[in-house]
Structure 1
Amino acid sequence: MKSQLKASITLLLFLLALSGCSGDVKSKGSSAKTQEPPADSQAANSEIQNKEEEFEVAPLPSNYQELAKRPVGEYADKVITFMTKEEYKTDLPSFDSLPDMSGDRSDQELDGDYELLLSKFQKGFKGPEEAVRQLRFQAIGSPEFKDTRYQFKDNLNVEIILDSSGSMAQKVNGVSKMDAAKKTIHEFVKKLPKGAKVGLRVYGNKGSNADSDKEVSCSSSDILYPISTYREEDFQTALGKAQPTGWTPTALALKQANKDMSAFDSSDNTNIVYLVSDGISTCDDDPVKAAKDLYHSNISPIINIIGFDIDSKGQNQLKQMAEAAKGIYKNVSDENELSSELEKLSDLAEKWADWKKRGESSLKVQKLDNTIKIFSYTQNEGLMASQERMNVFLYLNYLQEKKKISDESYQYLKEKNKKYHDWIDNEVKQLQSYLQSLNEKNYGDAMNALEEKFQQNQP
């Protein structure tokens, strides 16, 4: 409760600081320079013009879809708080690539400075495409689906692909990521309904993460539990063999998963693949292509990916893999969040078991409800926008305190940051409003409306 109160006070102070200074800020069209070159100095004007033409600024997103495609920043998870002058003595990241802003800067140069600073704190926004993917997974088995990939079949097969690279030995809340993953996977598998089949594959499970073992480790991926019904003793034995070991050959694991499930043709099998990893592929392969190839294979799997306590580079790659496979990417920070994510798969398996027991006619056309968790992520989008806004704002304060930015440049960038994140807030509100307007529609109608509005071209 105290932490929530502190966060609320911090956000309130931040908003008051923004509103209190807005009257002193120059408009976007004004220059942050203290002097303009003399009107009769054509050479000076030409020199400045050439300089600005050479200075290319990457554009900020113009719509929500573009925002969602921006790479997650290196310091996306860092939380900067209001600091006293004494606390400013503790240096924040220096960002060596950020130019000196203590002197004169043109608007164009400052736009580039802002883009660079923003990229460091860039959050992983999901956008409207995530609504479609989550809605599709939520509605698997519903009779209005025409795509057979998302229809229930006589058999349900789930393969879990577990990262066994050396980094999985790192601890979160006192427990290694590998032990936390194994415990969570075992709890999930134990709850699978009778008749469902499960498989367990690991990768990076041989050699070590030393350079001398890269070749052998990057060639390692084994099926520890071939796809079959759950047998507790056998599965526990297989799971016990998974240990944090070597490098991370993600593409190899996906290719081998295709072979694991090759006998389970999509005509009478609903096939689901979950990949759990804590980092980027380190084996000079192409996991994005591998994910796409697996998606388009004859087993027609549903592919979801979980990033476990992962850095920004890993998040960006795993997110690209999920997008290539038309699946969901979820970032989890600890065992509890991993368990919550696998619980969604447990719910789906129970839904399949009920369908098997009662027959296809038992599946009613489901309608949306405002309480469905699928829409709660819009609140998370708004929270990420607030955190990103505050991080940039407070870092600008830090630069000002360290006298690394002029007053004029500080005012310009502060106003730019405010306008940009006001735009994001508006995009999130519009999406939330549109999702609410779909309330009481059935899943099929809602998904069609979303895809049409946001120009989705799902297969």
Structure 2
Amino acid sequence: MYRSLVAILFVLVLVLFGCSKDDSNDVSGGEGNEREEKTAMTEEKKEEQSEPEAVQVMEELESIVLPETREEMKDQLGGLLVNDVSLENELELDMDAFLQEIDEELREQLVTLTTVVEDPFELEKGLAFLLGTANYKEVLEQAEEFEPDFEEPYLPYPGKTKEEIELEPEAGKAIILLDASSSMLLSVDGEVKMDIAKDAVKRFADVIGQDNEVSLVVYGHQGSESSADKELSCNGIEKIYEMGAYNKDNFEASLSTFESKGWTPLAGAIHKAAEMSTNVDGAITLYIVSDGVETCDGDPVHAAENFVEQNEHRSVNIIGFDVDQDAEEQLKNVSEAGNGEYYSADDATELKQTIEYEWLPSRIDLAWAFTKAPGPWEILDEREKYDTDHQKIKTIIDKERERYDYALHIIREKELILDDKRGVLQDLISERYGARVDEWRNIRSDKIEEIDEVANEIKERVNEWTEEMKKRKDERGDVW
């Protein structure tokens, strides 16, 4: 449709050029007759246009929708003179320079348009055809797709009994040993096991780090599973988070420093934990997350025995993640030798639940549980993030209006239509601009409401969890 209109307008420009040459010598200079002469010239030019061409132009303009709602704005096609201006370019566009660049062609097109069309409403459509932005759709969709990025609160639902808690060693130091051998590259329910394990360990550290110093040791993350790399892989046991107070950001960053690769030196990893604990007299607990048996010729059962015989307050707890029967038997033996517990987890949900089983929050933790939900500053931050995209819509609306105003300036300067009709056209453009700005404000209101709803939903979950934990502590008889 637009291409055919372009062709018609181009033909009309050529016709007008010829007509203007013929008429140039017939214009008288009397000031009082200027309006009448212009009107007469316009009528003469109209008569010289072929009636089918004029009808066709009117039909094409009739099909143009002047957008006010967001859906209508999305459907707007780019104007003839701005269609190749991308969103990024339009946002950065120097309008003064751009308008000077298209000035000559715009003047020609406006002469043609006003010769064929007199009705202000149809003229407004013609301006949209020439200068309407092509970027409403992209910028509106960017804003609509924004989702608030509140941190998901960790709300575990443990199930350990009072008797089990009384048998636990005193809080002290915790060493997490994470298996990063090549088997952790396999998938469980469509997710990579290593990704599941990292997420679970992250949550676990967030829990035990409240009452313990924490360290993270990873093994099986060097070399490869080939025989040529066996020695490298079996010796590649690395402490990636030093024993000390738990720092959420630093701990999570350490989990991003390695990937699954090689063999499984489970015994060597336990020996590493023993070396780290040589001069420590208090309670030390190992938490091992593994999906397979020792493959580096070590004896993890003997290593666990040596670890706990040095101190009665030590234990080795193991979570077997998606293990086969042989692996489960070996890992159970290791946990027994280490005076600890063995837990089995076959998928991501079970692994998460197994880790949650270890802990109930203290009364003090519950008193501060509200901080797990988004606070006023976090909500404000998400609103400001959204406004970055939202403001782009207003920028596009304003720049489109600048182009329309420039076209009105040319129409007034060249007296292409009568003043009363130009006034109506200007009013129409202003009203349409106001409607788009109103829609812009409505879009923001909807998105702010959405952000607040997400924040409130998280708050409700935190409150429900807090009440449930208080109830469980009351049932368990916990004072603190």
| Fold equivalence (TM over 0.5) | no
User: What TM-score results when the alignment is normalised by the length of structure 1?
Assistant: 0.42
TM-score normalised per structure 2: 0.41
Name which structure has the greater RCO, CA cutoff 8 Å, separation 6+.
Answer: 1
The structure in which a higher percent of residues are helix is 2
* Structure of larger gyration radius: 2
